[in-house]
Structure 1
Amino acid sequence: MKICSGNVLGEFLKEIRYNGLALSTVNAYQKDIAYFAKWYMDTTDKEPHLGDVTSIDLREYQGYMQSVQDLRPATINRRMAALEKYIRWAHEKGYVDRLPTFPKIVREQKTPPKALGRVEQNRLLREAERRGKVRNIALIRLMMSCGLRVSEVVAIRLTDLDIGERHGMVAVRGKGNKYREVPVPPEARKAIREWMIERAKRYPDSDWLFPNRNGGHITARNAEQLVKNIGKFAGLDIHPHVLRHTAATNMIRTGADLVTVAQILGHANLNTTAIYTKPDRKTMMEALEKGEI
């Protein structure tokens, strides 16, 4: 999209990139704005000058994405958000005299976050064990058994752990540096003890549970790649947060209450935790099949 004074879109993209947005995000903004520009030209037979865009145009474009393109609400809302950011920026810069009224976002039924089923969990653990690295098993267990974030796992120090045969606790500093203590169940304790024996031989002077060769700890990116690689060998397309979602889903489905799960996960708001109580597609399909005459 343009206005008569020049390449305003280029200036907008350059500025949001300068302000710290990733290049991939900037490119996504450009594509989303281009989708609107194409629709506008196809609809009006006019080049889309920014100052000509009206509230009606925005409503019609949103409706077009819903009824004609049949796009998902998340995609529609993302494209509209990019367009709104661009138009508001242009208004602040004085490139447009008035702000159109932006339509409300398209509501969608929230679904529970992606979690691994029992069979998939076993496949992942089997693959980690098959590859023989006790460090990887311990790392995966802390995320999938305890619900820790990948950033929390890699930052664990030995002094944060209290692991025994019949008890286990890990101190975690989560988002906003909030401190919490998370129990460590039996299989995770076993994996950690086995790793600590090997780790003591390889990294005797390190304070970190998962050290790197430079004296610090492995990065969240390292751990993320590790999980993705093992998942790939197990035939799973996953990232670390799927393991955290899996822990939460397992707790809810085995009868844990929301307050307990929220405390373990470090959620400040129970509404964040409540998303795990929503049934997934498989559960809904099973309910319908059982109820069908």
Structure 2
Amino acid sequence: MTHDNGARTLLSADDLVEQYRLDLERQRKPAHTVRAYLGDVRAFLGHFEREGGSHFPGGVRTADVRGYLSALKRAEAKPATIHRRRAGLASFFRWAVAAQHCRESPVAGLELHRLAPLEQPLRRALDVRDKRRFLRTVQEHGTLRDRAVCELLVATAIREDELVHVKLEDLELGERRGWVKVNGKGSRQRTLPLHRDVRRVLTTWLAARPALGDYLFPGRYGDALNTSSIRRLVDKYERLSGVAGVSPHVLRHTTLTELVRRKKHDIALVAAVAGHAKLATTAIYVQPNMQDLEAAVDSLMED
């Protein structure tokens, strides 16, 4: 039996997903978020059609979504995976309602805690020794651009998708002080001060930077670099340094974790650096990570 949740769209499911992808990109969502959300929608769509569902998305009921998430639980999917799948579907149906492909979201109001307990994933962060080893490798083997990119990632905890959109006009470099303006999630802008060592690296890069476009780190034709270029850059020095598990996101977590846990800065200050809208998001850096747990277990054997 079908469920009438809006006008029957003339678009195919594939066309709808493609329109959703374009909307996510217009919102400047990170590339990894776009991939994850599209994967979540396609995975649900496959389940929905196998179960005999039709007229996507207007024909989707809350019971269909609940049944899908319950099926994931029976298949022993991790709670974090189930929560992410729900988040991806919630995002899609918010868009579908706004675009008038359905009247209401079948995900809204779904009580997820009855499906799976929420587990907070442990965030990976480099210890001080590994962070220094990684940066030393970049210093010794990196180009001027690569050094500037990695120093800025570590010094400011900037997101990779924020970094590629920094323009020359967003940067202020002086002898005694300097800062970078960052356009973050939800169109929130923040200004981050730059340490003198980072200002020196950036000044050197600007002197050698090709005269292409307005971006601090321009692509081949002067447009913004793709975030995948930043990930490949970091991957290169991860391999050279021998420090496992380094990524732009890990460098961000490393800096924020160090500010909260080792430097003992106020969590509200760290939230401002991170560009978090809610303090609860920053609170994850107060929680123990795997290195903390390993150190605690090792300490039991030291007495």
Per the TM superposition, whether the score is higher than 0.5 is yes
Task: Please say if residues 47 and 68 of structure 2, whose CA atoms lie closer than 8 Å, have aligned partners that are also in contact.
Answer: no
Residue 194 (structure 1) aligns with: 204
Aligned AA (1:211): P
Q: Distance in 2 between matches of 1:195 and 1:123?
A: 22
1:74 matches 2:80? yes
Q: Distance in 1 between matches of 2:255 and 2:160?
A: 13
Q: Distance in 2 between matches of 1:251 and 1:86?
A: 35
CA-to-partner distance for each residue in 1:49-70, whole Å, 9 max, x for gaps? 459x9969957973x754x654
Aligned AA (1:198): A
Residue 249 (structure 1) aligns with: 257
Residue 14 (structure 1) aligns with: 14
Q: Distance in 2 between matches of 1:209 and 1:81?
A: 33
Task: Please say if residues 162 and 182 of structure 2, whose CA atoms lie closer than 8 Å, have aligned partners that are also in contact.
Answer: yes
Helix, strand or coil at the partner of 2:148: helix
CA-to-partner distance for each residue in 1:145-199, whole Å, 9 max, x for gaps? 11112233232315622232x4332233333443322111243233223323333
Residue 218 (structure 2) aligns with: 211
Equivalent residues in 2 for 1:134-213, closer than 5 Å:
134-154=144-164, 155-157=166-168, 160-164=171-175, 166-199=176-209, 202-203=210-211, 207-213=214-220
Kindly tell me: are residues 270 and 86 of structure 1, through their superposed partners in 2, closer, same or farther at Cα, counting changes over 3 Å? Answer: closer
- Structure 1 position 254, deviation (Å): 1.5
Equivalent residues in 2 for 1:68-107, closer than 5 Å:
69-78=75-84, 104-105=112-113, 106-107=116-117
Aligned AA (1:241): H
Task: Please say if residues 249 and 276 of structure 1, whose CA atoms lie closer than 8 Å, have aligned partners that are also in contact.
Answer: yes
Segments of structure 2 that go 5 or more residues without pairing to the other structure are 3-10, 22-33, 55-60
Task: Please say if residues 143 and 149 of structure 1, whose CA atoms lie closer than 8 Å, have aligned partners that are also in contact.
Answer: yes
CA-to-partner distance for each residue in 1:40-94, whole Å, 9 max, x for gaps? xxxxxxx84459x9969957973x754x65431022345567899999x9xx98x
Segments of structure 1 that go 5 or more residues without pairing to the other structure are 4-10, 38-46
Kindly tell me: are residues 120 and 83 of structure 1, through their superposed partners in 2, closer, same or farther at Cα, counting changes over 3 Å? Answer: same
Give the count of matched residue pairs. Answer: 264
Q: Distance in 1 between matches of 2:146 and 2:68?
A: 51
1:222 matches 2:229? yes
CA-to-partner distance for each residue in 1:254-282, whole Å, 9 max, x for gaps? 21111111122222221121111111122
Q: Distance in 2 between matches of 1:215 and 1:256?
A: 38
1:258 matches 2:244? no
TM-score normalised by structure 1 residue count:
0.68
Kindly tell me: are residues 220 and 137 of structure 1, through their superposed partners in 2, closer, same or farther at Cα, counting changes over 3 Å? Answer: same
Q: Distance in 2 between matches of 1:84 and 1:217?
A: 30
Task: Please say if residues 33 and 83 of structure 1, whose CA atoms lie closer than 8 Å, have aligned partners that are also in contact.
Answer: no
Helix, strand or coil at the partner of 2:217: coil
Of all paired residues, the percent bearing the same amino acid is 25
Residue 44 (structure 1) aligns with: none
Provide the alpha-carbon RMSD of the alignment. 4.3
Kindly tell me: are residues 185 and 49 of structure 1, through their superposed partners in 2, closer, same or farther at Cα, counting changes over 3 Å? Answer: same
